[in-house]
A and B are shown apart, each in its own frame.
Chain A
Amino acid sequence: MAIIEIKDLSKIYDGSQIEVRAVDGINLTFEKGEFTAIVGPSGSGKTTFLNLLGGLDDPTAGEVIIDGVNIGNLSSGRIIDFRLRNIGFIFQAYNLIPVLSAEENVEFIMELQGKTKKERKERSNELLEAVGLAERRSSRPAKLSGGQQQRVAVARALASKPKFVLADEPTANLDSRSAENLLEIMEKLNKDENITFIFSTHDPRVVRKARRVITLEDGKVMKDEIRLN
């Protein structure tokens, strides 16, 4: 069953001289449990595409329908709440809240959702355990390595039990060991818990792990291949 349907999606930036078609008439669907990589050269529109998918940006044309809801119809206040309950985000630069510990960063999302303290505690323990950081739960981001921070970011993205997780170049700032480790965790969560991951990447290791690879170029889908890993 498709959890995301994308119809004729376009994003056009009006520059002073030229018009930039960052995303140009994309039609795609994503199923529950996918582990999909969006690849393409720099400037191909990967990040813009993920931003449109996550409701962080408004499309110039087309629709993004998540679980039957056309997110273009949501007000700016409701889209924030929609993101909170349906989409997990992992960013290239980790972007944890620096004044909160690893555990608090994970719990924060659940607090925004109005979960009880007990629920928050249980879920953050479970997630930090899953990303192998149970021992560092009290450490603040500054005391964690890049790889550890990105693992906390994965735990945070999953805290709200989202329908899918969007990851924009999640391994770009990591050394190869940390990247490998992160990928294993994401893959395990995908297989064991059927969590949908959609990530943009340049990293061939990430591409190798993906079961579906969508290649963008000049804002258009050039290739959409399913792999049997």
Chain B
Amino acid sequence: MLISISWRNVWRNKLRSLIIISAIAVGLTASIFMTSFYRGMANQRIEKAISTDIAHIQIHNNKFRENNDINMYIPDAVEAARKTSSIDSVKGVSARIINYSVIASAETSAGIKISGVNPEEESRVTDIQDRITEGTYLNEGKKNPILISNILADKLKVRLGSKVILTMQDRNNGIVSGAFRITGLFDTKTKSFDESIVFITYCDASSLIGLPAGAAHEIAIRTTGNEQIKNVYEKVLSDHNGLEVLTWSELSPELWFLTETMNYLMYVLFVIILMALLFGLVNTMLMVVLERKREIGILMAVGMNKVRIFTMIVFETVFLALTGGLSGVLAGTLISKYFETHTIDLSKMGNSIEDMGFDSLVNTSVDLRLILIVTILVFLTGILGSLFPAFRALKNNPSETIRTE
């Protein structure tokens, strides 16, 4: 009956209860949606970086990444890539030749990174082929094909079929140039990436720089899922003693930092919301206890002991917190779940989001573990918020409160 009394007491002053319940519900709905939104954004940013460029694991010569020296190559990279592709849970492996170069059109020029790839192998590691807006993906049937982004094409004032010149250093520190025909244009919606990279074939890159047959600077490995990265990494590491084997989080610490920061921000946001909830609850329940001073005195007079009085106030507070909390968690989760499959288009906000490397088309990502933790925290906040009002209720002296008319 105590539970029933507490629940009915919650609804005695409907307006007041609804105000605090709505405040809790709206706060939690908004914060769950915001965290799912930012989590989705961050995950998309990471996923995109992995699927367009860095893959899950990369192998380099130990000294290559120090200053991208083209002589610091992996001699038998193509063969190593072939062997690595047979490891369980490996989706694709691509041996890449990396060099930094100047790309020139008839109008202008720009500094870029060249990625010399085997199109078939690369298409199993990255998804640039799915982001082609015009033309084809490194059509090897054509002579000296090059794939550049729309942004770079605009910058160079070139279009599909135009000729561009790549000028770079070769293995002997000489300057070599090659003429390439644009056979495809791509758009990953990440400006910083798009304007700084071009793709040519492995053979063209190898012959321009003069690398030995089968050599490359980078072996990029894509696993079948994030859960497999650790196992594949350990296997690759043991197979390639003396080479540098790194996962995406080590290769791109800023992305790792992004997820970590996002997680901390989520918790800070929830702590702020829960603090507001705590003060709201204490305030409301103190009003309740003061208003019902006489009634509580009567209950004590007729034989309701202090433990029961205390428990009744705790129940009432927890019911208030949980009614608002669960409504907020449910609404927040449902809205966030909806936007997991229905994209939010931020393109109208201008290019600033894309300039930062984020997608302007965002899908939320719901973290059910976080939501469970939040629900438990709401419950605990309810208990915490009830303590002060409940202790206040116990201070009632039946004979004094009964006299109060």
Contact = CB atoms under 8 A, between A and B. Distances in A.
Contacts of B171: none
Interface string B1-24: 100010011001000000000000
A95 B305 contact: no
Contacts of B5: 97, 99-100, 108
B308 to A, nearest CB: 7
B302 A84 contact: yes
Given A80-B306, A81-B305, A93-B405, A108 B298 contact: no
Interface in A149-171: 156, 160
A54 B301 contact: yes
B10 to A, nearest CB: 9
Nearest to B294: A95
Given A81-B303, A112-B304, A95 B295 contact: yes
Given A51-B399, A56-B402, A104-B1, A89 B308 contact: no
B112 interface: no
A15 interface: no
A81 B12 CA distance: 28
Contact of B306 (A77, A107, A156): A77
B104 interface: no
Given A91-B298, A97-B295, A80 B305 contact: yes
Given A93-B405, A95-B295, A97-B295, A77 B305 contact: yes
B398 interface: yes
A56 B302 contact: no
Given A80-B303, A84-B302, A160-B303, A99 B9 contact: yes
Contacts of B303: 80-81, 83-85, 109, 112-113, 160
Interface in A51-101: 51, 54, 56-57, 76-77, 80-81, 83-85, 89, 91, 93, 95, 97-100
Secondary structure at the A interface, as helix, strand, loop or mixed, is: helix
Secondary structure at the B interface, as helix, strand, loop or mixed, is: helix
Nearest to A57: B399
A47 B302 contact: no
B218 to A, nearest CB: 72
Contacts of A57: 399
A111 interface: yes
Given A47-B403, A56-B398, A97 B301 contact: no
Q: Interface size for chain A: under 10, 10 to 19, 20 to 34, or 35 or more residues?
A: 20 to 34
A99 B301 contact: no
A111 B312 CA distance: 14
A97 B399 contact: no
Contacts of A47: 403
Contacts of B12: 98-99
Contacts of B305: 77, 80-81, 84, 112
Interface in B273-320: 294-295, 298-306, 308
A111 B399 contact: no
Contact of A95 (B1, B8, B298, B304): B298
A80 B399 contact: no
Given A56-B398, A56-B402, A80 B9 contact: no
A81 B299 CA distance: 12
Contacts of B306: 76-77, 80
Interface of B: 1, 5, 8-9, 12, 294-295, 298-306, 308, 398-399, 402-403, 405
25 contacts: A47-B403, A56-B301, A56-B398, A56-B402, A76-B306, A77-B305, A80-B303, A80-B306, A81-B303, A81-B305, A83-B302, A91-B402, A93-B405, A95-B294, A95-B295, A95-B402, A97-B299, A100-B8, A104-B1, A107-B1, A108-B1, A109-B302, A112-B304, A112-B305, A160-B303
Given A83-B303, A89-B301, A95-B294, 16 more contacts: A47-B403, A56-B398, A80-B300, A81-B305, A83-B301, A95-B295, A95-B402, A99-B5, A99-B8, A99-B12, A100-B5, A108-B1, A109-B302, A112-B302, A112-B304, A156-B302
Name the 4 nearest CB pairs between A and B, nearest first: A84-B303, A99-B8, A56-B399, A57-B399
